[in-house]
Structures are given as C-alpha cells and as structure tokens.
C-alpha cells in the first residue's frame, strides 16, 4: 500500500500537463496583450503602423518571457501568431482581417470536436490516452467515455459560440467589439472549459491509470461500450 501511494504521488497530473502545454495562465494572458494594443492603435493610426506596433509588442513580450526563463519556442509562438494575423490584415487591407485566423480556427475546432463526438471517439479522450502512451481502452469504459463526451461537448460549444459571435462581428466590421470578444471569449471561457476537461482527465486517470503497469486497464473494459 505504501509503495502504491508513492507511485501515485509521483505521477504527473495530466490536467496540469495540459495547462502547461497551453502556456499556463500567464501564457494566455500574454496572448491578449497584442490584441488590446492592436485595437487601441487601430483607432489612432493607419493599418500598417497598427500592425507594426502589435508585432513590436509581441516581440517585447517574447523577450520578457525568455528572460523569465520560459522556453524560446513557447515565447516565439505568440510572435508568430501576431505576425500571421497582421499579414492577413495587411493582405485584406482591413483591421478586421487581424481576427480572421482566430475565427477560422474556432470553426475548425468546432468541426473537429463535433466530428469526434459523432464518431464516438471524443477528442479529449484521444488526447488523454495519447498522454498515457495510447495503452488504455478508454472508450470501452462507460463512465470514462461519458466524461470525455461531456468535456468534448463543452469544447464544441465553446468553439461554436466563438465562431458565431466573431463571424457576425466581422461581417459587421466591428473591429473594437471583435477585440473585446476575442479577449472575453478567449481565456475566461477557455478556463471554464478546461475545468471540465481536467475533470475528465482525472476521472480517466483514477479509473484506468492507477499504476504504471496498466492494472486499471483490466478493470476498465469490464463496462463495455454501448
């Protein structure tokens, strides 16, 4: 029993690993700053200058993150995102174009997560299993699959709501409100969705990955799929 408890204490929290992969809370906040700067600059400066200011701010944030000890590629990811968004805005000649990649990404997220539900392989379950070496028959355990159905459906609703709201604002040429929706429907809603995802991850871990030799697998398939 003591050895088992030690093994459990030493295991990484898959929910925390997921948050770390997304850059954590600070990483999500960093991504919102260039959006705020872009919207403010757009109200007082021409589009090329606005794009340049947003990119400069993104670079400054990346330097700060590296100085604070974060990985270089994680820090540069934010710069690449701003550069890509700025490139689209420049190509379209409209400040609203800055938000097009995010709108398309929301549509893609809704389609992917929704399709995984229809296929009875919710994407959060696939991700959890991938983080555990793809060695668990998670979809054959009803409580686990139900948890991932709920988690994936939560993400589907989030992505769909983002796409509908921001696409309508894009069509209305409401740059300022696009910025507000980008921030408001970004980290705050994602944080709520991740609470559900982390719950599904931890439920899966408790039922199927209680130890490293896969003993949870033997118990998991006892409740077969519908």
Q: Are 131 and 121 in contact (CB under 8 A)?
A: no
Write out the residue range of the structural domain in which residue 172 sits.
2-222
Query: Which residue reads 């989030």 in tokens?
Result: 158
163 closest CA partner among 108, 214, 119, 122: 108
- pLDDT confidence band for 224 (50 / 70 / 90): very low
Percent of the chain with pLDDT over 70: 80
Q: What are the pLDDT digits (tens) for 129-185? A: 998 888 888 988 899 999 999 999 999 999 999 999 999 999 999 999 999 999 888
Domain count, the chain: 1
65 has a pLDDT exceeding 70: yes
Q: Are 124 and 148 in contact (CB under 8 A)?
A: yes
What letters, b where the CB count within 10 A reaches 16 and e where it falls short, cover 155-172? bbebbbebbebbbebbee
User: What are the DSSP E strand ranges found in 77-183?
Assistant: none
Tally the residues of the chain: 226
Distance of CA 143 to the CA centre of its chain: 24
Whole-model pTM? 0.79
Specify the 3-state DSSP secondary structure of 209.
coil
Lowest mean pLDDT among 13-17, 112-116, 205-209: 13-17
Cα–Cα distance measured from residue 163 to residue 187, given in angstroms and rounded to the nearest whole number = 15
From the number of C-beta atoms within 10 Å of its C-beta (0-12, 13-18, 19+), residue 225 rates as exposed
23 has a pLDDT exceeding 70: no
Instruction: Note the pLDDT of residue 17.
Output: 59
């Amino acid at each position: 029993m003591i050895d088992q408890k030690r093994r459990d204490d030493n295991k990484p929290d898959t929910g925390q690993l997921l948050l770390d992969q997304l850059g954590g809370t600070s990483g999500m906040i960093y991504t919102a700053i260039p959006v705020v700067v872009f919207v403010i600059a757009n109200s007082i400066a021409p589009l090329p200058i606005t794009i340049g200011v947003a990119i400069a701010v993104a670079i400054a944030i990346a330097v700060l993150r590296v100085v604070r000890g974060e990985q270089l590629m994680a820090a540069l990811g934010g710069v690449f995102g701003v550069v890509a968004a700025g490139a689209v805005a420049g190509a379209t000649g409209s400040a609203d174009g800055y938000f097009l990649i995010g709108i398309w990404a929301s549509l893609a997220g809704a389609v992917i997560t929704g399709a995984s539900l229809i296929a009875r392989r919710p994407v959060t379950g696939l991700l959890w299993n991938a983080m555990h070496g793809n060695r668990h028959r998670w979809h054959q355990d009803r409580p686990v699959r139900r948890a991932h159905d709920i988690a994936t459906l939560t993400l589907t609703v989030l992505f769909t709501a983002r796409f509908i709201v921001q696409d309508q604002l894009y069509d209305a040429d409401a740059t300022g409100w696009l910025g507000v929706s980008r921030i408001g429907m970004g980290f705050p809603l994602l944080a709520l969705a991740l609470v559900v995802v982390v719950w599904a991850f931890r439920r899966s871990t408790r039922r199927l990955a209680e130890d490293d030799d896969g003993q949870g697998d033997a118990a998991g398939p006892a409740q077969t799929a519908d």
